[in-house]
């Protein structure tokens, strides 16, 4: 595994839109998996577990990484409720948080941070609801407003990026340039964590500038 302990997201063509991942764990273990849009899985009749094992066993640049590796558990899967569109998140006497509210980032597949944020916002609003003894849909609607105000910009951007990876020629062009350009390598590495850097990928000028880069 990577000496620095980096997580690895491997953007292979057959998983688009999606990726194959290797996340280092303590004691030489790793969390290995793959994700793909459900729509594509059904359209292309993909057996994701089979494809994951096939990648590990037969793709030369991946399989050499797994020489001597031992599968620790059975492979399990689950659907990720992606935040690709706005939904109603509360009503009379209830508030939905985390996966129940479909808050997962549609580009990175990360759902832990939005789940924690939604829990925090919900707790504050529930506190106010108890003080006012008002648990109506109208009162609790402030949860939807506050949460989407904090997250919707980033979620939209991630949704657009997810669409971008459906054009492999454009993705290959960017990655090809990055292999020769340290600054761009840094930008791409950071885009999974930094929303401002991610914004560059939706700006046509970014690609135009790339055309003239070595």
Least CB distance from residue 19 to ligand FAD, whole Å? 11
Inter-CA distances, 119 with 81, 104, 106, 177, Å = 16, 14, 19, 41
Question: Between 46 and 85, how does the x/- string for binding to ligand FAD read (CB under 6 A)?
Answer: --------------------------------x-x-----
Residue 129 CB-half CA count within 13 A: 22
Least CB distance from residue 23 to ligand FAD, whole Å? 7
Site for ligand FAD in 3-22 (CB under 6 A): none
Site for ligand FAD in 22-41 (CB under 6 A): 33
Residue 31 β-bridge partners:
23
Torsion of CA 100, 106, 109, 111, to 10 degrees: -30
Contacts with ligand FAD by CB under 6 A: the residue count is: 13
Do 17 and 37 touch, CB atoms closer than 8 A? yes
Least CB distance from residue 114 to ligand FAD, whole Å? 7
Given 96, 104, 122, 125, the residue binding ligand FAD (CB under 6 A): 104
Residues 14, 126: Cα–Cα separation, whole Å: 45
Where do contacts with ligand FAD occur on this chain (CB under 6 A)? 33, 78, 80, 98-100, 104, 109-113, 115
């Amino acid at each position: 595994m990577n000496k620095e302990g980096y997580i690895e997201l491997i953007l292979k063509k057959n998983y688009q839109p999606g990726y194959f991942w290797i996340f280092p764990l303590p004691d030489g273990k790793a969390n290995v998996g793959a994700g793909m849009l459900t729509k594509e899985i059904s359209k292309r009749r993909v057996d994701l577990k089979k494809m994951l094992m096939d990648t590990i066993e037969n793709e030369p640049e991946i399989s050499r990484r797994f020489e001597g590796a031992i599968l620790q558990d059975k492979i399990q899967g689950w659907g990720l409720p992606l935040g690709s569109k706005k939904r109603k998140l509360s009503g009379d006497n209830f508030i939905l948080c985390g996966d129940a509210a479909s808050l997962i980032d549609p580009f990175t597949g990360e759902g832990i941070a939005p789940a924690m944020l939604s829990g925090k916002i919900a707790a504050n609003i529930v506190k106010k609801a108890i003080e006012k003894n008002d648990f109506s849909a109208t009162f609790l609607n402030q949860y939807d407003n506050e949460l989407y105000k904090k997250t919707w910009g980033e979620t939209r951007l991630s949704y657009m990026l997810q669409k971008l990876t459906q054009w492999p020629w454009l993705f290959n062009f960017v990655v090809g340039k990055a292999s020769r350009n340290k600054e761009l390598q840094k930008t791409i590495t950071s885009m999974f964590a930094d929303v401002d850097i991610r914004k560059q990928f939706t700006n046509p000028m970014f690609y135009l500038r790339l055309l003239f880069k070595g």
